Structure 1
């Protein structure tokens, strides 16, 4: 070997030496970068989960200033739900300058009204085999992979949940068993835990509320359960921490178009709090408005960039106001869920009714100390601004539940009920006149395409696949804008509150701040390693530990003025103050519906908390008496639509 090396020509030797030296310099730089990254990672790893995090977020005023001073963004994302905030996070971590505007609040629509499951979809697997559908199977495999990413990137918000399928016929035992094992198999390395069979007695012991006289066995498989609106808020905050300009309550009134080519170049946006208008220019605009995607597509087609006019009924209410008429791409369907007391379901295991009387699947899941039941599938012709649960839908779910429960299923046990618009879509480029009708046969896969005017649209899919949808969307954005970007890193990127999180955080919080088990569990599982910031507010002022119902009350020792039921819920004044400073809470409903799940868990108790919430927010944000009165009225009117 050395002899051969000696016969090298000098020029070649010098060239090789130079190349090696250059490679060494490059390698050295990369090594230094990796070393610095590792040191940062090690520093994070050495911190205690209960150390006070150094969180420095820009204020809303700062974000608005950046929005107005930026001549042109790389990307403008319209829509602040799961997919929109996912897109903003993906794009910002790739090095793009991103703006996101949301007309209402983050997760104010479908993204807060899901079944709270991070799942592959056992029903889609069944359809895949019976219909020999590769599209259905691909959806299941994709979702199973993404389920694993959700559990990894937000472990404080996402948990593994065993789900039991009660079996009432012996012939169904091998059928369901094989189905559950196939579900495990297609999850591959992302499989959470192996499914297993329960005897009749074992199933009855776990779920004593089931009628054991007709029960034959139980099959248990595993999926993920998560807090959807808190996950959405974490995505928005993490995007902001990575440089994105993300703002709620910013309404797009018109798309900006090139007068010659018609290409979309951004949007005219109104700050709904102040009425101030902003011209937001961007090289690429993304339509991530979910069920309301057709409104943006209408703007895209209109040479002036305006939406089609919507005719409202003169007697329109919160529940009937129309957002989009005659949608072309979205196939609207309402999914209704109800919340019941915890005794309707095992505390640590969900129940799945694989075939209801009308052929749907029904879930009964433990969630936030209650039981979440649903869902319905009701086709709609128009898309309402605020879909609500009809009494008939609530009764349908209760009647279905009564088939399995020993004790009487009572309407007064319903603590809350709501409706969300399912994001089912048909490709408008391929849609035929006869493609309407029932929605049960539609695949819950997503659709990503670029219009002739250069607007990227992402629609459909489900919560579990939000990250993959965002990655595909930003890949399309990169092509349209011809950007030079970094690789996608969102599969492993920890969301706000997940950094250095440990399942022992609950115990550590209880020890350090002398909290009750219920409070430390609530803070750990909803705020992760950001929880110490709320605990510090508890230390600063003991009144911050009170339920938010008592907001602004100086003297709560007068027992006649105290509603002790409010102490059953861990939502405090300190939590509200934190959400204003660190989570961009702007209205009472932001807090009562989405930063916490108060109204989703118990609408009656949330109604009692409206005035206290408005008092704290009004004092903090400088609201006048007129704004406070208006806020109380609107909040109560909306919460009353939650089945109470």
Structure 2
């Protein structure tokens, strides 16, 4: 119900009346398609269950070297059942699904988990209100099925990782009276088609109440506010949680392992030549089935599949290309690339606990302004591209476009200097590469949902879709794996009710329990509870063991120990924070260092238990530091490298290179 204002009033009312007549008659049918809600009821948890949530349990995290050895052990006589290429949402989802079915699984990712599109989403678990409007206006069953599918999976996200995914009310400001019944009908149908999995009922606010809820809105012509509910989540942390869950279920999952060549035997793909990019060590990873789950970079693997020797097409690179302009795929056949840009603003740009939806952008798109991690996330754009860049970045024009749309609503000046961070991701819109040439590259071949196909070589490719539907995409992909690999003993899919790491024994009062047990501030307790769930006590225990671990990573290179009883700066125990002296550094303001709750203890935990291998892994994905405030994240680079270098035994040359590379990359985030 959220198209451009150019559609005539008469057309809108006719569409609403007709859609209401037809769709209300079919609502019972579609509601019956919604699967039983898996949402856990936490209302009757006992005090004993609450204490269970904060028991520190050291996970059995296999070291990276052991996982690499597992890759090396595969052979023609002892292959993996399935090799998944790609460590984003879909790839790690496939690894979890396959592992829980009893298959022997390997996953390789050339960079880090969620290093691409999976960390650059709008952070929403949603059915898609814009697809619902298309279903109304076009009487499209396909569009409606797309909404139903996503609404089913939205509930799964809230259940599988309740610490990472929360219900978020979103208000649509209404500025003309005729839009009130139109938007109201849309929100109510959105509730209706969620069936038993509806999160909360949508409702109408008067203009006065809407202005009180969102005082930053320009209320001069505001007629009402309509509120509906979706989910908000932390995408890259959910991605890494999927990777760790897959490992916990027996999968061999590795970041920084790049596929260099597909292994072909008798015209079938039987594995891949994989390189550990840290050491240069190469493996022949044999597998009965191979899944291409590389998202926007699917064409790169398909090029290898189309090659008789399994090697990729040569890429024509500009010798002067920078880190921001390298091309991953020059002529994609499957992916239809477009860049979606988001920016981060201070929290005063929207209500603390309610998002805003802009339905009247100048080019007809919808735009969200959402509270996220204590800031406001705004976006997104839709810029068509002819190539798939290796590292897409937000341009100044993209940033200004979002700010311009925001100014339509905000009653105070929207300033460029308020932009704390900005980034771009490649949308996963795809078309069938087997028919793309026949369609001449036109958009009628585009797939709005996900798309799975098996090539004549038995390479299984999954692409398209969105974060909200990753689990169903993975289920259907592994169904195809079972079929192609003839795995008769595979168990049924069980991921719909599966709890990810950090969600086991989770309690909605985890924040309070952590604050009480460990004497944490409310802010620190909330940060750890919302990002680590029931694994947060492990970080808290590190605070108890060594007070240095409580310090912000920014200060890791800016303190010394004054206590006569303490060892050097890497001491196992420092009795009190008072034993530490912050060294003056004109580049680092100690007050600013405590603005964000990202600590040395958290970094050490992520190295040991979440396979953090570079400073960017921690500053962008295990935490969201650079996404939230790129300038402050730049100040934390040296401290992050100091801790990581000590933990991973980096020499001075390695440390210097990591500092340089990390700063270059973070500077592309709108600063």
Q: TM-score, normalised by structure 2?
A: 0.88
- Measured after TM superposition, the shift of residue 428 of structure 1 is 1.3
- Measured after TM superposition, the shift of residue 442 of structure 1 is 5.2
Secondary structure at the residue paired with 1:617? Answer: helix
- Measured after TM superposition, the shift of residue 436 of structure 1 is 3.8
Q: Is 1:501 the counterpart of 2:506 in the alignment?
A: yes
Q: Is 1:245 the counterpart of 2:249 in the alignment?
A: no
Corresponding position of 2:411? 406
Contact 2:558 2:584 in 1 (8 A): no
- Measured after TM superposition, the shift of residue 224 of structure 1 is 0.1
Task: Give 2:80's match in structure 1, choosing from 73, 82, 85.
Answer: 73
Q: Is 1:304 the counterpart of 2:328 in the alignment?
A: no
Q: Is 1:523 the counterpart of 2:528 in the alignment?
A: yes
Write the distance in 2 (CA, Å) between the matches of 1:163 and 1:46: 31
CA 1:558–1:498: 2 relative to 1, 3 Å: closer
Contact 2:74 2:284 in 1 (8 A): no
- Measured after TM superposition, the shift of residue 134 of structure 1 is 1.4
Write the distance in 2 (CA, Å) between the matches of 1:61 and 1:196: 54
Write the distance in 2 (CA, Å) between the matches of 1:603 and 1:481: 46
Secondary structure at the residue paired with 2:275? Answer: strand
Write the distance in 1 (CA, Å) between the matches of 2:556 and 2:443: 47
Contact 1:161 1:350 in 2 (8 A): yes
> What pairs with 1:530-569 in structure 2 (closer than 5 Å)?
530-555=535-560, 557-558=581-582, 560-561=584-585, 562-569=589-596
Q: Is 1:602 the counterpart of 2:629 in the alignment?
A: yes
Task: Give 2:470's match in structure 1, choosing from 447, 450, 466.
Answer: 466
1:481-521 deviations in Å (ceiling 9; x for gaps): 00021111100000000001111000000000000000000
Task: Give 1:343's match in structure 2, choosing from 328, 343, 348.
Answer: 348
Deviates further, 548-557 or 298-307: 548-557
CA 1:46–1:539: 2 relative to 1, 3 Å: closer
Aligned residues: 601
Secondary structure at the residue paired with 1:74? Answer: strand
Contact 2:346 2:375 in 1 (8 A): yes
Write the distance in 1 (CA, Å) between the matches of 2:216 and 2:448: 32
- Measured after TM superposition, the shift of residue 132 of structure 1 is 1.8
Contact 1:379 1:437 in 2 (8 A): no
Write the distance in 1 (CA, Å) between the matches of 2:649 and 2:296: 34
Corresponding position of 2:205? 198
Corresponding position of 2:645? 618
Corresponding position of 1:416? 421
Write the distance in 1 (CA, Å) between the matches of 2:390 and 2:436: 24
Q: Is 1:122 the counterpart of 2:146 in the alignment?
A: no
CA 1:348–1:622: 2 relative to 1, 3 Å: same
- Measured after TM superposition, the shift of residue 136 of structure 1 is 1.1
- Measured after TM superposition, the shift of residue 130 of structure 1 is 1.0
Write the distance in 1 (CA, Å) between the matches of 2:528 and 2:305: 43
1:220-278 deviations in Å (ceiling 9; x for gaps): 000000000000000000000000000000000000000xx210000000000000000
Deviates further, 609-618 or 425-434: 425-434
1:262-305 deviations in Å (ceiling 9; x for gaps): 10000000000000000100000000000000011110110000
> What pairs with 1:38-187 in structure 2 (closer than 5 Å)?
48-71=52-75, 72-187=79-194
Task: Give 1:255's match in structure 2, choosing from 262, 268, 278.
Answer: 262
Contact 2:152 2:194 in 1 (8 A): yes
Write the distance in 1 (CA, Å) between the matches of 2:253 and 2:51: 29
Secondary structure at the residue paired with 2:581? Answer: coil
Corresponding position of 2:496? 491
Corresponding position of 2:607? 580
Write the distance in 1 (CA, Å) between the matches of 2:447 and 2:333: 17
Q: Is 1:222 the counterpart of 2:229 in the alignment?
A: yes
CA 1:272–1:408: 2 relative to 1, 3 Å: same
- Measured after TM superposition, the shift of residue 438 of structure 1 is 7.0
Contact 2:337 2:429 in 1 (8 A): yes
Write the distance in 1 (CA, Å) between the matches of 2:447 and 2:372: 26
Write the distance in 2 (CA, Å) between the matches of 1:359 and 1:244: 44
Contact 1:102 1:249 in 2 (8 A): yes
Contact 2:559 2:581 in 1 (8 A): no
Write the distance in 1 (CA, Å) between the matches of 2:58 and 2:367: 43
- Measured after TM superposition, the shift of residue 133 of structure 1 is 1.6
Corresponding position of 2:375? 370
1:341-385 deviations in Å (ceiling 9; x for gaps): 000000000000123100111000000000000000000000000
* RMSD of aligned alpha carbons: 1.6
Q: Is 1:448 the counterpart of 2:452 in the alignment?
A: yes
Write the distance in 1 (CA, Å) between the matches of 2:112 and 2:64: 13
Write the distance in 1 (CA, Å) between the matches of 2:289 and 2:584: 59
Which has more radius of gyration? 1
Write the distance in 2 (CA, Å) between the matches of 1:408 and 1:503: 38
Q: TM-score, normalised by structure 1?
A: 0.92
